[in-house]
Amino acid sequence: MGEGVVIKEKKAEFFLHREGDYRFIFSSRREIEKIGLRFGSGKGTYTAGMALFDLPFYQGETVREFEDGIIPLPAGYPYRRLHLYEINLNLKKKSSESMLINPFYFKIVPVKD
């Protein structure tokens, strides 16, 4: 992931401490049909753009709030006995809060029907 990221692996939570581009690559033994996303910041204002592989699915702004959504996934990329997925996030900070103290929160979870 690079610099500026704190990860809580068991909960699939990411705390992003810098603006810029992020790539989240994850895999599953079974094909995932949908994922749940939670992202935002309780204190900052951000513009975020997201894409599944190269298919954009979100472009918007969060203003001191968290957003939740369920995203249908296209077929994953088959690799050995896994299905690989990629979410790209472009993050721009629009407020004066320090991201070291108030990071941008990003969480990915699979959704079962």
Beta carbons of 34 and 111 less than 8 angstroms apart: yes
pLDDT for the residue numbered 76? 84
Tokens of 48: 């975020």
Residues of the domain holding 45: 5-110
Phi-psi region of 10 (alpha: psi -120 to 50; beta: other; left: phi over 0): alpha
Task: Tell me the per-residue pLDDT of 82-112, one tens digit each, with 9 for 90 and over.
Answer: 999 999 999 999 999 999 999 999 999 988 8
| CA atoms within a 13 Å half-sphere pointing along the CA-CB vector of 29 | 0
Residues of the chain with pLDDT under 70: 1-2, 113
pLDDT for the residue numbered 12? 81
pLDDT for the residue numbered 41? 94
CATH value at residue 43: 2.60.120
pLDDT for the residue numbered 18? 93
Tokens of 15: 């705390």
In this prediction the pTM is 0.87
Tally of structural domains, the chain: 1
